[in-house]
């Protein structure tokens, strides 16, 4: 009778010696946790889909900065569509989809998160150019070059992700200790390389660029107040202050929130290489994923064009002929 009870707690009772045990969460905890996380997942999908539709549809929003924001919104959309549900399932249920689907899931995790951080780097570079070289910005950052940057971002993420999960692609399930588990095989070398390429290097670039943006923005504001600069430069700075500085502030908030969600997860991985198997680590992973829900909320708070676009989309005015030319800005 005891063996039957123990078997009932296994993911695959027929594989008694090789099966994982089912998650030990109580029924009420499991239901509440799933409802909360699925609500966050659906919210992430819906809001980022609005960003994607807005930037893709309205011609006025086809700017280099918004193209980079579109890339970030697509990666955030995939977080809500694939990563959050996958992590919820891994945490509350046995993995029943097989080793190959597990490997594919981890590939998508790596691809999406690498694209996300790469998009933030390009956004930071865009704002750096706009603030530090405002008179040359339109020549340096064109719509075509922004599209090339997005393609480069996704291609780099594709190559890096293939390399990162290559062992599991060759031998799926090598990281699993039992059937019913979906774990990527980690080593200290793998974690170290990943931290350098997807955390230390990009975060350093982001911080350095925004420190430079902050210094230049402060100096421009002081120059305007003191009226020392020449008339032509003063005019350029005035335009920058009204548009580019506001955009830099908004995207600066986005970067700060992103790093606040990103850093705890990576810092924990430095302490524990097997971070996916602990409750604290799982919370940090969900915190990282939750950033994908916060990004479009930041747009809604600080970008009037996004609020106007939502109104046009929700009221179905987007279906009317000529809606692409709607004045959104």
What is the C-alpha separation between 237 and 231, in angstroms, rounded? 10
The pLDDT assigned to 2 comes to 33
pLDDT tens readout for residues 130-168: 888 888 888 999 999 999 999 999 999 999 999 888 888
pLDDT tens readout for residues 6-57: 445 788 777 767 888 877 766 666 677 778 888 889 999 999 999 999 999 9
pLDDT cut 90: percent of the chain above it: 24
Q: At what angle do helices 231-239 and 201-226 cross, to 10 degrees?
A: 130
Query: Which residue in 250, 198, 243 sits closest to 69, CA to CA?
Result: 250
The pLDDT assigned to 42 comes to 93
Give yes or no for residue 232 having a pLDDT over 60. no
The pLDDT assigned to 183 comes to 83
CATH dotted code for 62-323:
1.20.1070.10
- Residues 6 or more apart whose Cβ sits within 8 Å of residue 259: 203, 206
For range 240-244, the mean pLDDT: 54
For range 122-126, the mean pLDDT: 90
Give yes or no for residue 223 having a pLDDT over 50. yes
> For residues 75 and 322, which has the higher predicted lDDT (pLDDT)?
75
pLDDT band at 240 (very low <50, low <70, confident <90, very high): very low
Six-digit token pair at 228? 């020392």
Strands (E), the chain: none
pLDDT cut 70: percent of the chain above it: 81
What spatial distance separates the first Cα and last Cα of the chain, rounded to whole Å? 70
The pLDDT assigned to 5 comes to 41
Q: Which of 76-90, 148-162, 279-293 has the lowest mean pLDDT?
A: 279-293
The pLDDT assigned to 190 comes to 81
Six-digit token pair at 151? 């393609």
The pLDDT assigned to 71 comes to 94
Query: Which residue in 131, 225, 179 sits closest to 18, CA to CA?
Result: 179
Query: Which residue in 292, 264, 291 sits closest to 280, CA to CA?
Result: 264
The pLDDT assigned to 148 comes to 95
């Amino acid at each position: 009778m005891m063996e039957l009870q123990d078997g009932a707690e296994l993911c695959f009772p027929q594989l008694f010696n090789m099966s994982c045990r089912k998650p030990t969460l109580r029924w009420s905890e499991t239901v509440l946790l799933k409802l909360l996380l699925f609500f966050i997942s659906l919210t992430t999908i819906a809001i980022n889909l609005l960003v994607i539709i807005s930037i893709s549809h309205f011609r006025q929003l086809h700017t280099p900065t918004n193209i980079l924001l579109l890339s970030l919104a697509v990666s955030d959309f995939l977080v809500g569509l694939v990563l959050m549900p996958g992590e919820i399932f891994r945490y509350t249920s046995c993995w029943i989809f097989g080793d190959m689907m597990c490997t594919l899931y981890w590939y998508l995790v790596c691809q999406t998160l690498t694209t996300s951080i790469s998009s933030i780097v390009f956004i930071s570079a865009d704002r750096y150019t706009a603030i530090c070289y405002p008179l040359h910005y339109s020549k340096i950052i064109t719509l075509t070059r922004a599209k090339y940057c997005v393609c480069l971002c996704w291609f780099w993420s594709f190559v890096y992700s293939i390399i990162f999960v290559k062992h599991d692609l060759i031998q799926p399930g090598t990281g699993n200790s039992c059937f019913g588990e979906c774990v990527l095989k980690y080593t200290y070398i793998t974690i170290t390389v990943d931290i350098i390429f997807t955390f230390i290097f990009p975060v350093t670039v982001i911080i350095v660029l925004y420190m430079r943006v902050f210094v230049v923005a402060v100096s421009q504001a002081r120059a305007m107040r003191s009226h020392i600069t020449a008339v032509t430069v003063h005019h350029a700075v005035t335009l920058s202050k009204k548009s580019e500085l506001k955009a830099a502030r908004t995207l600066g908030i986005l970067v700060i929130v992103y790093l606040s969600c990103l850093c705890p997860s990576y810092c924990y991985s430095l302490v524990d290489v097997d971070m996916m198997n602990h409750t604290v680590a799982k919370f940090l992973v969900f915190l990282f994923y939750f950033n994908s829900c916060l990004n479009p909320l930041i747009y809604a708070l600080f970008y009037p064009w996004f609020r106007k676009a939502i109104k046009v989309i929700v009221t179905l005015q987007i279906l009317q002929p000529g809606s692409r030319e709607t004045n959104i800005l």
